[in-house]
Amino acid sequence: MDFGDAIKAIKEGKKLAREGWNGKEQYIELAERVSYMNPQGVLINEGHADIGNKVLAFIGTRGVQLGWLASQADMLAEDWYIKED
């Protein structure tokens, strides 16, 4: 599937990955109602009230990266697939 299809699937709650990625356990998914702790120890957006509070999360071998951005190679690739649990 191409990147447009991948984005549609992400919005439907699917986990997506690319054949071309090195780590086979890597995938992206939609993260909603995101909170975070700032350097002062204050929890930001604790009530999850902010509008548009969605980001792509990259889950890899070294943990989770919130706010993942696709590279041009990712956007032009046609090797996206739905990752089954």
Q: Is residue 49's pLDDT more than 70?
A: no
Q: What is the pTM of this model?
A: 0.83
Q: What is the pLDDT of residue 44?
A: 85
CB 44 within 8 A of CB 35: yes
Q: Is residue 50's pLDDT more than 90?
A: no
Scanning the chain, the segments in alpha helix (DSSP H) are: 3-11, 72-76
58-80 pLDDT, tens digit each: 999 889 999 999 999 999 999 99
Stronger pLDDT, 40 or 35, i.e. the higher one: 40
Stronger pLDDT, 36 or 70, i.e. the higher one: 70
Please name the residues in contact with 11: beta carbons below 8 A apart, sequence gap of 6 or more: 30
In this structure, how many other beta carbons lie within 10 angstroms of the beta carbon of residue 20? 11
Q: Which two tokens stand for residue 15?
A: 């986990």
Stronger pLDDT, 54 or 15, i.e. the higher one: 15
